């Protein structure tokens, strides 16, 4: 067997078939010149690697580090610094719930970057508006879905809208509350609704226009806060497990 | 993704440096790579590390290589000065590395690319062949010619 530089090179990289590799090893033990050639080629590689590491001694460009350390620049990193309600969501063992919780976080993170939104859900005050008043056309279907759909189940609504409940939870007054996302070709909305005396109240809502450069929003109150802050203030014991949610919805 | 990229940054920078042989170009390329990754993300089912190197190499091929702004600069004083340590053996080592750099710069680009992908990035031959869309035999021959040429330029001894 003639052993070329190409064979030795492939031997260095462990890319030879086992049979050929054994043949090379046998010849290396018998042929000093071949062994010397192998050492030369390996030495070239070692020097190339050492040379590559030289740049480690120069400072990493600050502009690149800034891009990666800016925790508010992208949705995924906003998730990292999310609030207590999000952490509690992560404790859910149900896979579907976990998946949805993540989806919800992304939407919230977009909101954080854009800056928004609205009201408090502390009680049935004027800050809260009846959903039926704020939504036209599909409000009946929307309310029906909010009242019955399990978290994680996508629901198609009239007007080519897709609704998905992200998760449900109880507030301090033991009201059932639900975080949802409603998407149409024109806009995306996320919000929180709470059930009070069999009426669903709009506690927080944010609307993103599909054609707008930034997020637009609707407010139910003049106080500027964010949905995650609202969730933090509302959620008492974290999101409901699927069976707890079903039980609450059935009431 | 940012946290993963941050961990990957030194390796990615070494790769960019190996391709460009210029600290400034390497850092420009690194920045462009990170910007592209943050903007466009990673395709489904593709490992971030692998994709980052691919983006980096493609940017180099598509944009930076064509400029060849600093390819003809023979020395990169800042990189050697930054790594300099007192002592005779280090001076010797420094000189040796400067020779390595000069030798790498004189490699044909196709050989340098394959050598960088295998020796620095640590890719298997088949992956190099796939990414460069060349036969695996061509990968092998370019690689062995690059190594032989370096060994000859540097007059390496066993």
Return the C-alpha torsion angle B139, B140, B144, B145, nearest 10: -50
Q: What is the helix (H) or strand (E) element at residue A203, kind and residue range?
A: strand A199-209
Angle separating helix axes A5-12 and A32-53, nearest 10 degrees: 50
Q: Cα separations (Å) of A32 from A226, B154, B158?
A: 73, 21, 11
Q: Are residues A139 and A21 in the same domain?
A: no
The pLDDT of residue A97: 43
Q: Given a cut of 80, is residue B5 above it in pLDDT? A: yes
Q: Are residues A9 and A120 in the same domain?
A: no
The answer to whether the Cβ–Cβ distance between B158 and A40 falls below 8 Å is yes
How many separate domains does chain A show? Answer: 2
What is the mean predicted confidence (pLDDT) over B80-109?
A: 67
Residue A67 domain-assigned (yes or no): no
Q: Are residues A78 and A52 in the same domain?
A: no
Which residues, other chains included, contact B46 with Cβ-Cβ below 8 Å and sequence gap of 6+?
none
Domain coordinates in residue numbering, chain B = 1-73, 106-158
Q: Are residues A161 and A111 in the same domain?
A: yes
Nearest to A121 by CA among A231, A243, A239: A231
Query: What are the phi and psi torsion angles at A167 (to 5°)?
Result: -165, 165
* Cα–Cα distance for residue pair A80/A244, rounded to 1 Å: 27
The answer to whether the Cβ–Cβ distance between A69 and B2 falls below 8 Å is yes
Model pLDDT for residues B10-63, shown as the tens digit of each residue? 999 999 988 888 888 889 999 999 999 999 988 988 889 889 999 998 898 877
Residue A68 domain-assigned (yes or no): no
Total CB pairs under 8 A between chain A and B: 132
Q: Are residues A36 and A122 in the same domain?
A: no
Interface of A with B (CB under 8 A): 4-6, 8-10, 12-13, 15, 35-37, 39-41, 43-45, 47-58, 60-61, 63-65, 67-69, 71, 73-74, 76-77, 80
Q: Are residues A79 and A184 in the same domain?
A: yes
Model pLDDT for residues A137-193, shown as the tens digit of each residue? 567 888 889 999 998 888 888 878 888 898 898 888 888 989 888 887 777 778 888
Handedness of CA A92, A95, A96, A98 (dihedral sign): positive
* Cα–Cα distance for residue pair B50/B37, rounded to 1 Å: 12
Structural domain boundaries, residue A41: 5-56
Low-confidence ranges of chain A (pLDDT < 50): 71-83, 90-136, 211-225
A174 neighbors A103 (Cβ within 8 angstroms): no
The pLDDT of residue B12: 92
E strand spans, A49-198: 129-130, 155-157, 161-170, 176-183, 187-196
Question: In chain B, what residues touch A60 (CB-CB under 8 Å)?
Answer: 9-10, 13
A206 neighbors A225 (Cβ within 8 angstroms): no
Helix (H, G, I), strand (E, B) or coil at B51: helix
CB atoms within 10 A of CB B40: 10
The percent of residues in chain B predicted with pLDDT above 90, rounded, is 32
Q: Are residues A78 and A41 in the same domain?
A: no
The DSSP secondary-structure symbol of A227 reads H
Q: Are residues A52 and A128 in the same domain?
A: no
Query: What are the phi and psi torsion angles at B22 (to 5°)?
Result: -145, 130
* Cα–Cα distance for residue pair A113/A78, rounded to 1 Å: 8
Residue A36 domain-assigned (yes or no): yes
Residue A207 domain-assigned (yes or no): yes
Nearest to A105 by CA among A81, A70, A133: A81
Q: Are residues A155 and A228 in the same domain?
A: yes
What is the ipTM metric for this complex?
0.75
Q: Cα separations (Å) of A63 from A97, A123, A242, B34?
A: 38, 47, 45, 10
Q: Are residues A44 and A90 in the same domain?
A: no
- Confirm or reject CATH 1.10.10.10 for domain B106-158, answering yes or no: yes
The pLDDT of residue B70: 44
Q: Are residues A21 and A88 in the same domain?
A: no
Diameter of chain A by CA atoms?
A: 92
Q: Given a cut of 70, is residue B66 above it in pLDDT? A: no
Q: Are residues A174 and A127 in the same domain?
A: yes
* Cα–Cα distance for residue pair B87/B93, rounded to 1 Å: 10
* Cα–Cα distance for residue pair B24/B22, rounded to 1 Å: 5
Q: What is the helix (H) or strand (E) element at residue A201, kind and residue range?
A: strand A199-209
Query: What are the phi and psi torsion angles at A91 (to 5°)?
Result: -80, -10
The answer to whether the Cβ–Cβ distance between A61 and B17 falls below 8 Å is no
The pLDDT of residue B143: 95
The pLDDT of residue A123: 35
Residue A61 domain-assigned (yes or no): no
Give me the CATH code for the B1-73 domain, please: 1.10.1740
């Amino acid at each position: 067997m003639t052993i070329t530089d190409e064979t030795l090179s492939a031997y260095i990289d462990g890319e030879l078939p086992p049979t050929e590799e054994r043949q090379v090893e046998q010849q290396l033990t018998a042929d000093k010149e071949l062994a010397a050639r192998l050492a030369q080629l390996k030495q070239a590689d070692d020097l190339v690697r050492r040379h590559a590491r030289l740049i480690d001694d120069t400072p990493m460009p600050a502009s690149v580090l800034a891009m990666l350390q800016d925790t508010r620049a992208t949705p995924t990193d906003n998730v990292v610094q999310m609030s207590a309600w999000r952490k509690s969501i992560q404790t859910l063992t149900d896979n579907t719930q976990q998946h949805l919780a993540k989806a919800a976080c992304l939407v919230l993170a977009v909101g954080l970057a854009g800056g928004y939104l609205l009201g408090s859900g502390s009680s049935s005050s004027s800050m809260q508006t009846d959903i039926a008043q704020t939504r036209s056309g599909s409000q009946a279907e929307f309310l029906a879905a909010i009242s019955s759909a399990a978290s994680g189940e996508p629901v198609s609504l009239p007007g080519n809208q897709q609704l998905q409940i992200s998760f449900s939870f109880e507030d301090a007054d033991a009201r059932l509350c639900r975080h949802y996302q409603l998407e149409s070709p024109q806009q995306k909305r996320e919000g929180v609704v709470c059930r009070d005396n069999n009426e669903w109240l709009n506690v927080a809502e944010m609307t993103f226009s599909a054609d707008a450069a930034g997020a637009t929003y609707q407010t139910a109150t003049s106080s500027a806060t964010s949905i995650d802050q609202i969730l933090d203030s509302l959620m008492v014991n974290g999101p409901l497990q699927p069976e707890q949610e079903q039980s609450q919805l059935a009431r | 993704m940012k946290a993963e990229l941050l961990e990957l940054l030194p390796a990615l920078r070494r790769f960019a440096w190996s391709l460009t042989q210029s600290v400034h170009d390497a850092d420009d390329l690194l920045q462009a790579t990170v910007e592209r990754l943050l903007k466009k993300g990673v395709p489904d089912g593709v490992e971030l590390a692998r994709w980052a190197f691919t983006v980096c190499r493609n940017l180099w091929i598509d944009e930076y290589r064509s400029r060849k702004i600093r390819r003809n600069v023979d020395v990169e004083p800042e990189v050697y000065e930054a790594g300099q340590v007192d002592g005779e053996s280090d001076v010797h080592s420094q000189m040796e590395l400067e020779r390595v750099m000069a030798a790498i710069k004189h490699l044909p680009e196709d050989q340098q690319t394959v050598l960088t992908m295998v020796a620095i990035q640590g890719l298997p031959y088949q992956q190099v062949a796939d990414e460069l869309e060349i036969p695996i035999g061509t990968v092998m021959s370019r690689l062995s010619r690059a190594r032989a040429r370096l060994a000859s330029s540097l007059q390496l001894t066993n």
